[in-house]
Amino acid sequence: MYDVIIVGGGPAGLSAALVLGRSDRSVLVCDRGDHRNDSSRAVHGFLTREGTPPDELLRLGREQLRPYKVEFAAVPVTDAVRESPGFLVSLADGRRARCRKLLLATGLVDLLPPIAGLGPLWGRSVFVCPYCDGWEFRGAPLAACGAEGAALALSLLRWSQDVMLFTNGGRPLAGDETERLAAAGVRVREEPIERLEGHEGTLERVVLAGGEAEPRRALFLKLPQRQRSDLAEKLALPVDDKHGAETRRRQSTRVPGLYLAGDASRDVMFAIVAAAEGAVAGMTIDGELQAEELAERVRRGSPASPGK
């Protein structure tokens, strides 16, 4: 039986594994190999790793776990059930593993709109987060997209004074939204977007229904997301109407022994925040394990020994 199984090998999962490994815990990290920022050229806002390609960041993380009792399984987890005194986890390759504590660091999936030409530009000049990717396009013609994108469009003024909002045929803007956008100099186009045109990952123009085109260098989308894994719901962990899984103090959940870290909670969705949440989860889990081990020693009347 592992002390901990971590589902998800992104920044949150690897950070938790590092804390737990350095606490001399046995850990299994199950990672299906796809991550939310796979299409991005670089990770931004991550102190000491600014501009690092996402796959390189994860490679470094895995490399730094080699000295510890951390194992990896490059397969999805298909099921997890509570089974005293912990959890029984089923892997897609038929293996099953038991653990005392379970951490979900499975993240989210962005639900992209069906706009022609978006795919080759996603993560290169079409993004969701201006704090992550706005700097590289400062001063360039920018745009927000989505009927709920008024606030996003206004935030883009921090990086450029040439900002548009494409509602893509969605709901009409509210009167106060229209007023604020106009006062800020943000132009609004309400027609559906027919396609995006660009070259080698760089957006060049947004083509609207009817053929008219607006030149833009980067587009920021206000997107819905869903959980990358259904394990939270299978374990009866509440998921809100925005598909964020519920967490409590220090990454714990209402399900005993189950913890959650990273984007799956839909908190601040930065890679460095996910890593921080993973570290908090690792400390919380180890503290819970220590408390349980001490209680068992007291029950048995046996002295504590280091590393046990």
- The pLDDT tens digits of the residues spanning 182-209 come to 999 999 999 999 999 999 999 999 999 9
Query: Are 122 and 39 in contact, with CB atoms under 8 Å apart?
Result: yes
pLDDT digits 0-9 by tens, 277-287: 999 999 999 99
pLDDT digits 0-9 by tens, 104-142: 999 999 999 999 999 999 999 999 999 999 999 999 999
Q: What is the DSSP letter of 305?
A: -
Q: Which residues contact 186 (CB under 8 A, 6 or more apart)?
A: 153, 154, 157, 163, 164, 165
Answer left, alpha or beta for residue 152, where phi above 0 means left and psi between -120 and 50 means alpha: alpha
Amino acid at 167: T
- Higher per-residue pLDDT: 54 or 304: 54
Token output for 77: 């987890």
- Higher per-residue pLDDT: 26 or 296: 26
Question: What are the structural domains of the chain?
Answer: 2-110+224-301 (3.50.50.60), 119-221 (3.50.50.60)
Q: Taking 70 as the threshold, does the pLDDT of residue 266 lie above it?
A: no
The full 3-state SS of 213-252, as one line of letters, equals EEECCEEEECCCEEECCCHHHHCCCCECCCCCECCCHHHE
What's the burial of 167, exposed, middle or buried (CB within 10 Å: 0-12/13-18/19+)? buried
Amino acid at 294: L
Q: What are phi and psi of 115, to 5 degrees?
A: -110, 125
Average pLDDT (227-250) is 81
pLDDT score of 186: 98
pLDDT digits 0-9 by tens, 48-102: 999 999 999 999 999 999 999 999 999 999 999 999 889 999 999 999 999 999 9
- Higher per-residue pLDDT: 130 or 303: 130
Q: Global pTM?
A: 0.92
pLDDT score of 184: 98
Peptide bond into 85 cis (omega under 30): yes
Query: Are 76 and 92 in contact, with CB atoms under 8 Å apart?
Result: yes
